[in-house]
Chain A
Amino acid sequence: MSELEQAIPLSRPESRTVPAVRSRRLSLHRLKLREQLLAYLFLAPSLVLFGVFLFYPLLQSVYLSLHSTDPAGRIAGFIGFDNFAALLSSGLFLKGIKVTAMFTLLTVPAGILVSLVLAVLTRHLLRGKRVFQLIFSLPVVMAVGSAAVIWKFLFHPTLGMLNYLLELAGLPPVAWLINPDTALLSVSLMTVWMNLGFNYIMLSSGLLGIPEELYESARMDGAGGSTLLRRITLPLLSPTLFFVLVVSVIGAFQTFGQINILTAGGPIDSTNVFVYSIYREAFVNFRFGMGSAQALLLFVVILLLTLIQFKWVEKKVHYQ
């Protein structure tokens, strides 16, 4: 191009400005291209890791679920949807879902309600606020491994502290983890305690975002405590509450550690939640294909639940 321009006799000033503009445009183009390259360079570490450890395994799960595997985890043969059919017809899937749903109902509403009450009460505290904040956030540092072991001792049927306290109160002892009727309830109790820290921190930080002036002006207008809660706190906190709800439900459906330590799915499968049966299928029975099929069903269930929450519950959420 530049040769062509040199060949055509043009008036001097023009021949000087055109290449200048062009080169500026060219360098701008090159600059944009460089920014694109740089952006992908910035994204590359995350993308590579997600690719290898998230998107590839997701596809691999689908592939595995359509095959049977030998005990070493190698593919033994294509079996189509047999794994899924077996899961659905044997009732394994339905039973797992039932226990998990029950567990979710026992832990999520109670967990959110308790932490909400505590967060609201600490917010307006004049003294000792930091101490209470620390106490109620404390369970967040409890790993599921340690927490479950502590509660295993608290639940101990003969030597445990809980039954001792019941005895002191003149009540009959409870078999906690040993009785199929109370096992899930006991695990739920421990789980509510364990999740309290995270919920409390999230809700407290959500409350931080509500300006104090709103309360003051409402009080000036003569609003009482319950009105403030219903008209200001709950609506303005609803995005946080919604976030906590979604995260809690997903978390409840992914529960594993406390089940493995406290009950190992028993007694008589009364606490055999979904992830625990995936674990047992894949890493105890070494049936990776079946385990993958279960895991994919779990994915579908979680996805549906999340979508339902976004569709129905989020309507009630008040975004500023």
Chain B
Amino acid sequence: MNIRIQKQLLRVVILAAAAVPVLYPVLYSFFMAVMTPEEASAYPPSLVPHSFRLDNFREVFATVPIATFIGNTFLVSAIVMLGQLITASLAAYAFARMSFRGKSLMFGLFMATMMVPWEVTMIPNYMTVRSLGWLDTYMGLTVPFLATAFGTFLLRQFFLQVPLELFEAARMDGCGHVRYFLQHMLPLARPALGTLAVYSFLNMYNAYLWPLLITSSKSMRTVQIGISMLEFQEATSWNLVFAGITLVLLPTLLLLVFGLKQLVRGMAAGALKG
């Protein structure tokens, strides 16, 4: 018993030692976010802040339209999340519960899309979006991402785990595919839908290259670009950049705190069981 306690203690010590460098960059941003400009650019740098200046956040709002950026990004991420949930659950249901000609071909086609690196399609997509007149619009930011092979695969694996007997019983009662999908499958699949929702929201919230390419006006930029804009403005001091990062980070951090269990469970249930 004594050895077991010692082992546990050793484990905690190692993990705590590892936790410091992992956590530090995040803590560092929080510290920098509340320092005065003088302290933030002083040498030697202070390990913990000796000043506490909440005005930094007010100044960020005044320097770049960060509220607009956050609003934009939330809107874009929410649209993509919803769109992906709809397209992926529909397709996943067809693959899991319906029989139709060309099913395996279609499934292969879906899986193949995961192999194509996004960069290969980036240039033509830019041109497509430009010719549609979607540059610098919400359409351009969201529509190319509304379908997801990863999500379809994840949900299909989950739908397949729902017992077939349930479907047969519902059929006996005269329940068609559409009603079964809406009233039975979707409510049952809430955990998997939740995982996909968290995953796609995070992905979109953190997107960088595509928004950088297709947005040009300040009113359409997303947060990740806003952060680098803050950094490239010569006049802004470090503490403001970090106040901006903190503001952008908080929503996703909250999402992780509440969604972590969901994420770990859902990934295990969906992605890896054949």
| Residues 93-131 (chain A) with a chain B CB within 8 angstroms | 114, 118, 121-122, 124-128
Say whether B117 contacts A298, CB under 8 Å. Answer: yes
Say whether B119 contacts A124, CB under 8 Å. Answer: no
Say whether B116 contacts A243, CB under 8 Å. Answer: no
Among A57, A139, A257, contact of B209 (Cβ-Cβ < 8 Å): A257
| Nearest A-chain residue to B122, judged by Cβ | A295
| Nearest B-chain residue to A278, judged by Cβ | B119
- Determine the main DSSP class of A at the interface with B: helix
| Residues 63-79 (chain B) with a chain A CB within 8 angstroms | none
Report chain A residues within 8 Å CB of B271. 202, 243
Chain B 99-113 interface 0/1 with A at a Cβ cutoff of 8 Å (1 = within): 111010010011001
| Residues 17-44 (chain B) with a chain A CB within 8 angstroms | 18-19, 21-23, 25-26, 28-29, 32, 41, 43-44
Q: A136-B22, A139-B22 are in contact. Are A58 and B121 (CB under 8 A)?
A: yes
Interface size on B, residues (CB 8 A): 90
Say whether B41 contacts A159, CB under 8 Å. Answer: yes
Report chain B residues within 8 Å CB of A313. none
For this complex, 9 residue pairs linking A to B, each with C-beta atoms less than 8 Å apart, are: A42-B94, A45-B91, A46-B91, A50-B109, A61-B123, A139-B22, A147-B25, A278-B119, A295-B119
Say whether A201 contacts B224, CB under 8 Å. Answer: no
Say whether A295 contacts B120, CB under 8 Å. Answer: yes
How far is the CB of A57 from the nearest CB of chain B, in Å? 4
Q: A57-B124, A159-B43, A306-B115 are in contact. Are A144 and B100 (CB under 8 A)?
A: no
Q: A145-B206, A292-B123, A303-B115 are in contact. Are A46 and B224 (CB under 8 A)?
A: no
| Nearest A-chain residue to B148, judged by Cβ | A46
Q: A46-B87, A275-B119 are in contact. Are A35 and B209 (CB under 8 A)?
A: no
Interface assignment of B175: CB less than 8 Å from any CB of chain A: no
| Nearest B-chain residue to A153, judged by Cβ | B238
Q: Give complex CA distance A18, B172 in Å.
A: 25
| Nearest B-chain residue to A136, judged by Cβ | B22
Report chain A residues within 8 Å CB of B44. 164, 167
| Residues 124-182 (chain B) with a chain A CB within 8 angstroms | 124-128, 130, 143-144, 146-147, 149, 152, 177-178
| Nearest B-chain residue to A148, judged by Cβ | B228
Which 3 A/B pairs are nearest by Cβ-Cβ distance?
A145-B224, A143-B206, A57-B124
Q: Give complex CA distance A278, B128 in Å.
A: 18
| Nearest B-chain residue to A261, judged by Cβ | B228
Report chain B residues within 8 Å CB of A152. 231
Most buried by B among A46, A164, A257, A283: A46
How far is the CB of B152 from the nearest CB of chain A, in Å? 7
Among A122, A150, A279, contact of B245 (Cβ-Cβ < 8 Å): A150
Interface assignment of B227: CB less than 8 Å from any CB of chain A: yes
Q: Give complex CA distance A310, B197 in Å.
A: 29
Say whether B98 contacts A137, CB under 8 Å. Answer: no
Report chain A residues within 8 Å CB of B62. none
Q: Give complex CA distance A124, B100 in Å.
A: 46
How far is the CB of B5 from the nearest CB of chain A, in Å? 9
Interface assignment of B186: CB less than 8 Å from any CB of chain A: no
Interface assignment of A43: CB less than 8 Å from any CB of chain B: yes
| Nearest B-chain residue to A306, judged by Cβ | B115
How far is the CB of A189 from the nearest CB of chain B, in Å? 10
Q: Give complex CA distance A295, B125 in Å.
A: 13
Say whether A35 contacts B224, CB under 8 Å. Answer: no
Chain A 42-62 interface 0/1 with B at a Cβ cutoff of 8 Å (1 = within): 110111011011101110110
| Nearest B-chain residue to A194, judged by Cβ | B25
Interface assignment of B253: CB less than 8 Å from any CB of chain A: yes
Report chain B residues within 8 Å CB of A206. 268, 272
How far is the CB of A96 from the nearest CB of chain B, in Å? 12
